[in-house]
């Protein structure tokens, strides 16, 4: 077992590098995992990397703060277990809420720890995305009825692409992906039944109706993370439809006429953050983390959810700075990014 490991560290905005750290032995109820791959959550990690995450300056929040070790979605193999651990053993391959680090500890004594076994045939870069997929899964859960509903997804980054594929797996149709970046629209077309649209065209709503048999979609999912996009999302949904916010908007949405755009059209505006999937079921939201993880693993293992074709860059962790800059400035080249540790 390694005495030292490596992890990515952001000491300040626009700065990231790899550092060594001491790998602790697992304590009672803990498992130590050697990371195979970790997936970049572009929205959250770029918000921290660029210094715009709203909680960085909030003195009442302990997370995130610099120096910061990013990441929360990984796959690896258990290398050691602590006293009292049941159900997990050394050598087992698992997905877990790992950071961009060569090793991670998971405490199984916490409520619904973020860890679940996954088969060896699932490619590492795809398996590493499973915890990340909780965010688009939250949108699917929050929509209520998905079967046969027409759905448009605004923003086709990694979260938006996964959102389209999860709604497709749930039987939604027609499906429309909306993004100004052509390569992202092309990737979306890989899913059966998906049509695409550049939301920047002058007659976007007319084209959207044409793609959906003359009507605006029943559901619009905003996966952009841009607060200004909410007005477009609201205008793109049918009267009485649902707008689901899965991308975390960082900032204030201006020029939204809530009487005309929301109240007057009886639209439901719904938040769907991945953290809403907790350890225990809540009224109106019965999903738990364990239930979500086993579903995501089933979809990946069975091939019902494909992710590997969304990974445009699978690189060593030493290139994480290049990846952040690429995701930030070159969306036409960078989509899904995963880091390997060997």
What is the pLDDT of the chain when averaged over all its residues?
92
Q: Smallest Cα–Cα separation from 37: which of 248, 317, 326? A: 317
Instruction: Report pLDDT digits (tens) over 240-276.
Output: 999 999 877 776 766 777 778 788 888 988 887 767 7
Residue bearing tokens 């960085």:
56
Residues 74, 78: Cα–Cα separation, whole Å: 12
Count of structural domains within the chain: 2
pLDDT band at residue 289 under the 50/70/90 scheme: confident
Residue 85 backbone phi and psi in degrees, to 5:
-75, 130
253 is written with which tokens? 């949405």
Instruction: Report pLDDT digits (tens) over 55-109.
Output: 899 999 999 999 999 999 999 999 999 999 999 999 999 999 999 999 999 999 9
The pLDDT, as a whole number, for residue 254 is: 66
Residue 219 has pLDDT above 90, yes or no: yes
* Lowest-pLDDT range of 194-198, 199-203, 226-230: 226-230
Establish if 321 belongs to a structural domain: yes
Asked if residue 140 and residue 269 are part of one domain, the reply reads yes
Asked if residue 44 and residue 102 are part of one domain, the reply reads yes
Residues 146, 140: Cα–Cα separation, whole Å: 7
Residue 7 backbone phi and psi in degrees, to 5:
-145, 160
The last residue of a domain, from among 276, 293, 325: 276
Cross-strand bridge partners of residue 101: 7
Asked if residue 72 and residue 9 are part of one domain, the reply reads yes
Residue 22 has pLDDT above 80, yes or no: yes
- Asked if residue 338 lies in contact with residue 310, where contact means CB atoms within 8 angstroms, the answer is no
| Residue span of the structural domain in which 21 resides | 4-129+307-340
Establish if 36 belongs to a structural domain: yes
Residues 197, 233: Cα–Cα separation, whole Å: 13
């Amino acid at each position: 077992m390694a005495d030292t490991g490596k992890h990515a560290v952001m000491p300040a905005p626009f700065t990231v590098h790899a550092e060594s750290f001491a790998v602790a032995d697992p304590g009672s109820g803990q498992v130590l995992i050697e990371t195979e791959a970790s997936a970049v959550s572009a929205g959250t990690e770029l918000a921290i990397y660029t210094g715009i995450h709203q909680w960085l300056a909030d003195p009442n929040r302990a997370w995130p703060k610099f120096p910061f070790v990013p990441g929360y979605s990984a796959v690896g193999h258990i290398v050691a277990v602590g006293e009292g651990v049941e159900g997990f053993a050394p050598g087992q391959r698992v997905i877990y809420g790992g950071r961009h680090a060569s090793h991670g500890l998971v405490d199984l004594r916490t409520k619904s720890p973020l860890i679940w076994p996954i088969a060896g045939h699932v490619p590492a870069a795809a398996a590493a995305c499973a915890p990340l997929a909780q965010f688009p899964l939250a949108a699917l859960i929050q929509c209520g009825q998905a079967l046969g509903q027409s759905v448009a997804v605004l923003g086709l980054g990694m979260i938006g692409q996964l959102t389209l594929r999860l709604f497709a797996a749930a039987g939604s149709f027609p499906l429309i992906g909306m993004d100004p970046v052509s390569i992202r629209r092309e990737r979306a077309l890989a899913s059966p039944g998906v049509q695409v649209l550049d939301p920047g065209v002058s007659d976007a709503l007319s084209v959207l109706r044409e793609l959906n048999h003359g009507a605006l979609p029943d559901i619009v999912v905003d996966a952009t993370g841009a607060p200004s996009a909410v007005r477009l999302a609201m205008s793109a949904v049918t009267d009485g439809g649902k707008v689901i916010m899965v991308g975390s908007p960082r900032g204030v949405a201006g020029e939204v006429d809530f009487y005309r755009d929301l109240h007057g059209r009886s639209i439901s505006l719904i938040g769907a953050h991945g953290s809403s999937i907790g350890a225990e079921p809540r009224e109106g939201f019965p999903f738990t983390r364990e239930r979500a993880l086993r579903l995501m693993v089933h979809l990946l293992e069975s091939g019902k959810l494909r992710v590997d074709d969304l990974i445009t860059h699978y690189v060593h962790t030493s290139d994480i700075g290049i990846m952040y800059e690429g995701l930030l400035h070159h969306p036409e080249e960078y989509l899904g990014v995963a880091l390997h540790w060997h």
